[in-house]
C-alpha cells in the first residue's frame, strides 16, 4: 500500500519572527507616541478652526457681517460651540470629541508607522544606518509622500466647501501617494540620470493630470478659514511625521543594539 504523503505548513524561522516582532513593536510604539503628540497639537490649533467652519456650514455664523462687534460675537459663539460639542442631546453615552480625535490619531499614525518601519527595515538590509537623526529624514519623506504631494493639488478641506466625487478623489490620492513613495525611494537609493528623471516624472505626473475638481467652487465658509485650516493641517502633519520618524529610528537602533548584544553573549 502506498504511503500517504502529507505536506506540512512551513513555519517561520526564528530570525523572521524576531524581525516581525521588531517591526511591530517599533511601529506601534512610535506611531502611538507621535499620534498622541500630534493629536494634542490638533486639539490646540486645528480643532478650533474646524469647529468654526462647521458653524459656518450649519448657518450659526455668516461671514458677510462686518464690524468688530460681529467678529467678537462670532468668536464667542465659536467658543460656546466648542465647549458644548460632543455632548449629544439624547444623552447617548458617546466618547467626547477630543478623546475620539486622540484615539483616531494614534491608530492612524500606528498604521502609517507600520509601513514606514517596514521600509526602514528594507533599507537597513541594503546597508542603511538607522537612528533618531536619520529617522527625521524618513519622517520628512513620509510627510512629503502622504500629505504634501497629494495636498499640492488636493488640499485639506473644511466642511461646507464644494468638492468632487469622493471615489475619484480617493483614487487620485492613492495613486499620487504610491507614486510619491516610489519617488522618495528612488531619491534616497537611486543613482544616475534615469533615477532622477523617474523622480521628477513620478512627482509631477499626478498634478499634470490634475486632481478631481468640483464643477463650481462654492460654500458658506470664508476662504480665510479654509486657508488657515489647510496651513495648520500641513504644519501639524509635518511635526507628527517628523516625530514618528525620529521615534521609529531611535527605537529601531536601540533594538538593533539589544539584539546585537544578545547574540554576542
Q: Cβ(146)–Cβ(178) under 8 Å?
A: no
Cα 82 → chain centroid: 24
φ, ψ dihedrals at 229, nearest 5°: -60, -50
Residue 72 has a pLDDT of 42
Which of the pair, 144 or 90, is modelled with greater confidence? 144
**pLDDT tens digit sequence for 211-236:** 998 887 777 888 889 899 999 999 99
Domain spans of the chain, in order of start: 21-58+95-264
Contacts of 204 (CB under 8 A, 6+ apart): none
Q: Give the model confidence (pLDDT) of 155-171 as tens digits.
A: 999 887 888 889 999 99
> Predicted confidence band at 67 (pLDDT cuts at 50, 70, 90)?
very low
What does the pLDDT read at residue 69? 41
Q: What is the pLDDT of residues 178-222, one digit of tens each?
A: 999 999 999 999 989 999 999 999 999 999 999 998 887 777 888
pLDDT at 131 over 60: yes
Return the pLDDT at 80.
47
Q: What is the model's pLDDT at position 10?
A: 62
Cα angle for residues 213, 198, 147 (degrees, 5° grid) = 45
CB 245 within 8 A of CB 132: no
- The answer, yes or no, to whether residue 111 has pLDDT greater than 70, is yes
pLDDT of residue 264: 57
Q: Are 241 and 110 in contact (CB under 8 A)?
A: no
Going by pLDDT thresholds of 50, 70 and 90, the confidence category of residue 74 is: very low
Q: What is the pTM of this model?
A: 0.83
HEC-encoded secondary structure of 181-246:
HHHHHHHHHCCCHHHHHHHHHHHHHHHHHCCCCCCCCCCCCCHHHHHHHHHHHHHHHHHHHHHHHH
Amino acid at each position: 500500500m502506498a504511503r500517504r504523503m502529507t505536506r506540512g505548513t512551513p513555519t517561520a524561522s526564528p530570525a523572521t519572527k524576531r524581525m516581525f516582532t521588531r517591526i511591530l513593536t517599533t511601529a506601534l510604539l512610535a506611531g502611538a507616541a507621535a499620534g498622541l503628540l500630534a493629536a494634542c497639537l490638533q486639539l490646540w490649533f486645528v480643532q478650533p478652526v474646524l469647529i468654526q467652519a462647521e458653524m459656518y456650514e450649519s448657518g450659526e455664523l455668516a461671514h458677510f457681517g462686518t464690524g468688530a462687534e460681529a467678529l467678537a460675537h462670532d468668536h464667542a459663539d465659536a467658543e460656546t460651540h466648542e465647549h458644548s460639542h460632543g455632548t449629544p442631546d439624547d444623552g447617548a453615552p458617546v466618547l467626547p470629541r477630543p478623546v475620539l480625535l486622540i484615539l483616531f490619531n494614534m491608530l492612524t499614525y500606528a498604521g502609517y508607522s507600520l509601513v514606514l518601519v517596514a521600509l526602514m527595515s528594507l533599507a537597513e538590509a541594503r546597508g542603511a544606518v538607522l537612528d533618531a537623526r536619520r529617522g527625521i529624514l524618513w519622517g520628512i519623506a513620509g510627510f512629503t509622500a502622504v500629505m504634501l504631494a497629494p495636498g499640492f493639488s488636493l488640499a485639506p478641506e473644511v466642511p461646507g466647501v464644494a468638492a468632487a466625487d469622493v471615489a475619484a478623489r480617493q483614487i487620485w490620492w492613492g495613486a499620487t501617494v504610491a507614486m510619491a513613495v516610489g519617488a522618495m525611494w528612488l531619491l534616497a537609493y537611486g543613482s544616475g540620470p534615469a533615477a532622477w528623471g523617474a523622480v521628477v516624472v513620478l512627482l509631477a505626473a499626478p498634478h499634470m493630470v490634475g486632481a478631481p475638481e468640483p464643477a463650481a467652487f462654492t460654500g458658506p465658509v470664508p476662504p480665510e478659514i479654509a486657508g488657515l485650516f489647510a496651513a495648520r493641517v500641513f504644519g501639524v502633519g509635518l511635526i507628527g511625521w517628523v516625530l514618528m520618524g525620529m521615534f521609529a529610528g531611535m527605537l529601531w537602533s536601540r533594538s538593533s543594539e539589544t539584539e546585537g548584544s544578545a547574540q554576542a553573549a
